[in-house]
Structure 1
Amino acid sequence: MATPFHSLDDFIALPRVEALALSPDGSTVVLTVAALKKDGTGYDRSLWSVPSDGAGTPRRLTRSAKGETGAAFTASGDLLFVSARPDAEGDADDESGQLWMLPAAGGEARPVTRLAGGVDGIMATAESSDRVVVAASLLPSAESIEADAALRARRKDKKVSAILHQTYPVRFWDHDLGPAAPHLLVVDADELADTIAAAVADTAAEDEAVRDAAATLADGAGAASPGGADAATEPQPYPATLPRPRDLTPRPGRSADHAAGALTPDGSALVVSLDEREQRAGRRVIVRIDTETGEWTTLFDEIGVDFESPVVSHDGRLVAFLRTVKSTPAAPTDSEVWVAEIDGSAARRVAEGWDRWASSLSFAVGDIALIATADEDGRGPVFRLPLDGGPVERLTEDDFTYTHVRVVPGSAELVALRSSWIAPPHPVRIAGAGTVTPLSSPVATPDAPGSITEVETVAEDGTRVRGWLLLPDGASADAPAPLLLWIHGGPLSSWNAWSWRWAPLLAAARGYAVLLPDPALSTGYGLDFIARGWNSWGGKPYTDLLSITDAVESRSDIDENRTAAMGGSFGGYMANWIAGHTDRFRAIVTHASLWALDQFAGTTDSSEYWQRIFTDEAMIENSPHRFVRDIRTPLLVVHGDKDYRVPVGEGLRLWSELAEHHADAEGRMPHRFLYFPDENHWVLKPQHAVIWYETVFAFLAEHVRGEEPSFPELLG
């Protein structure tokens, strides 16, 4: 049976549910849906409404060429989102994303902000007021949002892109940091002045500002302005028709780069995790900011400890958060769930014997328990953590991973997105007893080729090691399938949820069995399981992978003589390590891989972390580059130039050293290097994803199946 996974063009055209928001009355779920652009080079995002009770049909709420993301509701039921759609009253050339509102009472969406640098995202909304906190970037020397706009205009006019850094880091993931710094701004959405009188007053104020600037220039004072600014780049008044954002983080530096927080129900305070800088690193602290006065109160701060992910109870009395002692080469540390009074007093640990790492937290109805998600045994269930010290209860018992969990007001029920390796994210409702009901969705779940089964083995030290095995249709003892060992990244991760970037069903549709194992360092099996591979990446993670591969190859429906290995990031590291330590695989694909650990640790976007978790000796002993002479397996090396997590220097050095040791007199070798000048740690553009898979499958076909060498036409 043909499925969308049998065609790369059909696969990238599949629409995708990316996020979920729940209305204040609990009746409506809003989904963010991405659909392929007509030219096939990107995705358009729109918002869709579906009933939260499982009945009814989806209804599209937004349509714009720029799309919408970050949906959230105000207490009044108005829908907020971020979009770069045109603002009829703004600058026609402005393409920055702004905060928009779709009124609950009906009518067209209207802008709530008009910031020169745009809005980066919605951080928090209040349960019982229309107050919202957004993240937005402002230039450090600007004293106001008007001054920020003027200075941005002057930099643009002079085509200045230079950035002067005073602190580390200087870049993150795939983008440069600075010169603007992230701020947290509070906006009162109910102050949106949508009247004719306000619009007239706003226009009059803008005209007066332009006349004043022109008069100043005419008097000769303009020559003193930086860069000879003219009236177009002088500060203009912020629109009176829009609620004026108030800055809660003046002079933030880089403290809000990874901020996460929640508003109290009345919106009077923001409880937020921020970075406290320490030389080139930092620790996460939790502060409470009064949203009226801007006054800060530090709630939790310890040297060598990170406090993160704060959430506030429905009655505004409690705050829950994660507390993690920073890891060292000696051992990984636990991620602990804590709860305290809203002023930081009476802090205590919750679910102390629960050996799992919460990936999300929220308060249950009645504030007597926390609702959490966490990796567990190759799944991502929903858990209930009682605050009275009672045992942790697992609420979902299926093979799915849950995200975007929201508590239905006044109910023990939840809504969420869930996914597995054979089902992309889709909305569901979870009853108090754990029964899961799929909701209507504008996106149909595609048919999956083949089947999935759970596999496991016992490692050399007696530890259980498990994974998922995708089997193609027709695999049998009479027609055993070639095997792909597919290694996850992280390394603190698990093969337990759908990924549009890594889609093993594409390989299954082409006749490959795909092994998705969770070796040492994987999450969801307890701290001891992670510790088995700590400071020793080439040890237990490697032997675990070989042990479970041995177990799967012993199956009659697997062809042990036709195998390959592949992985990205940490998976790429393991692919490189495997290449230097065994020749059992016919081909190896290594994407965005770590090659020389000492080089990587000093050039990645967060060097302090990587250098902190390894000893100097282990960083040398576990570096794949030391074994380049021993590589006998053809490698497909893949790297993007905008990868700042694993900088392209890793791929360039790997390629150089392969040529140094394995090229013949004419420079030829069996290895290949697929390079993307404008992709980051992953390959995200649809047209490039097609090229990636075409190249990978052609490389595997050549070396695993013995087919003639080929490459995609569009590679030239």
Structure 2
Amino acid sequence: HINENLYYDTMETTAARDKVLEDPEGKLGGLNAVLFKRLPMREWDRWIDAKMVHPFFVPVTSTVNNSDLNAVAGYRADDTRPVDLLQGVPTAVPCGAFGGSEDWSVSKNGAIAISARPPLAPDEAWTTNRHIYLMKNISSKTSEEVTGENFEELLGECITKGNPGYDTNPVFSPDGKRLAWLTMKSPTYESDAVGILVYDLETQVTSTLLEAETDWDYSPNSLTWSEDGKTLFFTADVRSRQALCSIDSTLGAKQPNGGIRILKGDQSTFLHGEVANSGSRAGHLLLASVQSLTMPTELFVIDSRGDETGLRQVTHFNTQRVADTKLGQVKEFTYRGEKGDDVQSWLIYPAGFTQTEGLSESTPTDPLQKHPLVVIYHGGPQGSSADDWHYRWNLQYFASMGFAVLAPNFHGSTGFGHEFCRDITGNWEIGGRDTIHGVRAVLTEHSWIDPRRVVGLGGSYGGYTSNWLNGNAPEGMFQALVCHCGTFGMRSSYYATDELFFKETE
């Protein structure tokens, strides 16, 4: 499968229009204008033009001709041209700024499921709505031009038409008989609780494996079937770590002995799939990427039964580099927030600063021997400062410069329950207020941190928090505040985005 950015009708039309717009003879007089008749007009950092990303497929056949230079692993692509799965449909797949290959799935039986916005929906800017569309036989697709404006019919059967919120991450079972996906109910809240649904292609019945909000206090964010089809693996933000979890693909979350198992929750994990030919552990070994605040991403093999003897690190790309580098020790630091309940945060000691020194009662009083504090508050606001090796906001980077680092997961953060996450909606100030409580708590408990050298920084919602703290933090608490891509007012921000569902909900 490949992706291409094109006008939604045909590749020939795309090529012809591109040639006209190049205007080599200057017939357009340098004109470069787009007439917008509907929202959205923008998507994050780009203007939305008439081109849309579509997935293509090329049929392949097996070959025994070892001399065929165009064959790969015993298969050869047909000589026919690629076929646009969504030809004639004005919608994008992958969908949105963060879409990817998880927006579609192909079964062994030739069916395909896609997650897409309803074509040319008039309320697109005001809703999160994405549906699951099912095409039962992609082999019947051709490259012939499609006409007409019954766009949804060209997408196939919509199996989620009763749900106005997100339906994403479709994935077929190995036998091709069932389709699972993630679902949200709210049409306007992009951080709503997430559930898991399964559709039976033979009976055309949809069943609920995980009822959002009621069955679990966390939200799945990925889906992978086990090779035998009995289990669905997924990851979820659980207390600011991407935990690897599993659920029975038939009984779901309500089975008598507990339906959801956390297989690995002590670091952040991304699952790639099962390991083939694994001997006595066949059907139980998983290949995953694992990372943390003290370890860049490496590949691990994990036993899905929870057997620790099956845990094995496969790659060591950075093992020696990490061993040769001074990193700050990482601690979870919990304090009372604005609402009087617990707020979790990460406290990272300056690189090379030992735990004994940090907990010593005889901490030096000389300010030059104390350490400055950097406070990093995440964006979203529904997100988290996670136990991972972030490649932009890497907390160890600040620790390496001699800072202590405090990263609060204030009310509104994911991974601490749905109610905790919703606490920030309509109340964006609570992130800043929780941050103030965190600074006070860490300065009280750790006298080796210099209260006269505290700085704060954040991006996006974190930038908003810097702006808010600039006018609301206790005088002298922060010596500097950094705002990266942050807003300063909800009303002005309303006119700076086409995701109006976000502003009208928040």
Q: Which interval holds the TM-score relative to the shorter structure?
A: 0.7 to 0.9
Match of 1:508 among 388, 399, 403: 399
What secondary structure sits across from 2:159 in the alignment? Answer: strand
Q: Which one-letter code corresponds to 1:186 in the other structure?
A: F
Q: CA deviation at 1:401?
A: 0.8
Secondary structure at 2:157 match in 1: strand
Range moving further from structure 2, 559-568 or 431-440: 431-440
- Indicate if the aligned counterparts of 2:244 and 2:271 stay in contact, CA closer than 8 A: no
What's 2:225 paired with? 363
1:114-263 matches, within 5 Å, as: 133-140=1-8, 143-158=9-24, 161-190=32-61, 242-256=79-93, 257-258=95-96, 260-263=103-106
Q: For residues 276-425 of structure 1, what are the structure 2 equivalents within 5 Å?
A: 276=118, 277-281=121-125, 282=127, 283-289=129-135, 290-294=137-141, 296-302=156-162, 304-326=164-186, 333-342=192-201, 345-352=204-211, 353-387=215-249, 388-389=251-252, 390=255, 391=258, 392-398=260-266, 400-409=267-276, 411-425=283-297
Q: Distance in 2 between matches of 1:179 and 1:459?
A: 47
C-alpha distance in structure 2 between counterparts of 1:537 and 1:585, whole Å: 20
Map 1:670-681 onto structure 2 (within 5 A).
Answer: none
Contact residue 191 and residue 243 of structure 1 kept, 8 A: no
Name the residue aligned to 2:439. 549
> 5+ residue gaps in structure 1?
1-132, 200-239, 615-716
SS of 2:166's equivalent in the other structure is strand
Distance in 2 (CA, whole Å) between partners of 1:597 and 1:534 is 12
Q: Report the equivalent of 1:654.
A: none
| Distance in 1 separating the partners of 2:393 and 2:47 | 26
- What is the CA deviation profile of residues 241-268 of structure 1, one whole-angstrom value per residue up to 9, with x for unaligned ones? 84411122122223433460111123x1
Residue 419 of structure 1 contacts residue 425 of structure 1 at CA under 8 Å; is this kept in 2? yes
CA contact (8 A) 1:181 1:252 kept: no
Aligned residue number for residue 454 of structure 1: 332
Cα distance change of structure 1 residues 249 and 332 upon mapping to structure 2, 3 Å threshold: closer
Letter in 2 for 1:284: R
Q: Unaligned stretches of 5+ in structure 2?
A: 25-29, 71-76, 142-153, 277-281
- Aligned equivalent of 1:520: 411
Q: Name the amino acid aligned to 2:223.
A: L
Q: Which residue of 2 aligns with 1:427?
A: 299
- Tell me, in whole angstroms, the C-alpha distance in 1 between the residues paired with 2:439 and 2:459: 18
Q: Do residues 588 (structure 1) and 456 (structure 2) align?
A: no
- What secondary structure is seen at the aligned counterpart in 2 of 1:262? strand
Whole-Å separation in 2 of the counterparts to 1:241 and 1:342: 29
Q: Secondary structure at the match of 1:469?
A: strand
1:499 aligns with 2:361: no
In 1, are the aligned partners of 2:238 and 2:265 still within 8 Å (CA)? no
Q: CA deviation at 1:594?
A: 1.1
Q: Could you tell me how far 1:288 is from its partner in structure 2?
A: 0.7
Write the letter of the residue equivalent to 1:144.
T
**How high is the sequence identity, in percent, across the aligned residues?**
24
Does the Cα contact within 8 Å between 2:289 and 2:297 map onto a contact in 1?
A: yes
**Partners of 2:58 and 2:80 within 8 A in 1:** yes
The secondary structure found in structure 2 opposite 1:380 is strand
Q: Is the 8 A contact 1:299 1:343 kept in 2?
A: no
Paired amino acid for 2:425? W
Distance in 1 of aligned mates of 2:31 and 2:56:
26
Q: 1:34-49 alignment to 2 at 5 Å? A: none
* Partner SS for 1:385: strand
* Equivalent residues of 2:347, 2:405 under 8 A apart: yes
Whether the 8 Å CA contact 2:302–2:312 is kept in 1: the answer is: yes
Equivalent residue number for residue 117 of structure 2 = 275
Aligned-pair CA distance for 1:362: 0.9
CA distance in 1, matches of 2:502, 2:117: 18
Q: CA deviation at 1:461?
A: 2.8
Deviates more, 1:320-329 or 1:272-281: 320-329
* Residues 300, 344 of structure 1: 8 Å contact kept: no
CA contact (8 A) 1:183 1:247 kept: yes
CA distance, structure 2, for counterparts of residue 411 and residue 327 of structure 1: 38
- Over aligned residue pairs, what C-alpha RMSD do you find? 2.9
**Is contact 1:522–1:530 with CA below 8 Å preserved after alignment?**
yes
> What is the aligned partner in structure 2 of residue 610 from structure 1?
502
Amino acid across the alignment from 1:609: F
Deviations along 1:560-594, one digit per CA (max 9) or x if unpaired, are 22211110001111111111102311110110001
Aligned to 2:461: 570
Q: Is the 2:10–2:87 Cα contact (8 Å) retained in structure 1?
A: no
Q: Per the alignment, in what secondary structure is the counterpart of residue 543 of structure 1?
A: helix
Q: Is the 8 A contact 2:61 2:78 kept in 1?
A: no
Structure 1 173/511 Cα, relative in aligned 2: closer, same or farther at 3 Å? same
1:484 aligns with 2:378: no
CA deviation string 1:85-105 (max 9, x = no partner): xxxxxxxxxxxxxxxxxxxxx
Matches within 5 A, 1:626-637: none
**Equivalent residue letter for 2:376:** W
- SS of 2:472's equivalent in the other structure is coil
* CA distance in structure 2 between the partners assigned to 1:293 and 1:571 by the alignment: 49
> Does residue 1:440 correspond to 2:315, yes or no?
yes
- Give distance in 1, aligned partners of 2:233 and 2:302: 12
CA offset at residue 340 of structure 1?
2.0
CA–CA separation in structure 2 for the residues paired with 1:288 and 1:534 = 34
Cα–Cα, structure 1 residues 287 and 481, in superposed 2: closer, same or farther, change >3 Å?
A: same
Asked whether the 8 Å contact 1:263–1:271 carries over to 2, the reply is: yes
TM-score (norm 2): 0.79
Give deviations 1:95-153, integer Å, cap 9, x for gaps: xxxxxxxxxxxxxxxxxxxxxxxxxxxxxxxxxxxxxx33212124xx53244334323
What is the rounded CA distance, in whole Å, between the counterparts of 2:216 and 2:346 in structure 1? 24
Give the distance between the partners of 2:47 and 2:406, measured in 1 at CA.
36
Say if 2:40 and 2:498, in contact at 8 Å, map to a contact too. yes
Please give the per-residue CA displacement for 1:370-429, whole angstroms capped at 9, x wherever unaligned: 10101111211100112313321100142x111243233462211111111222211111
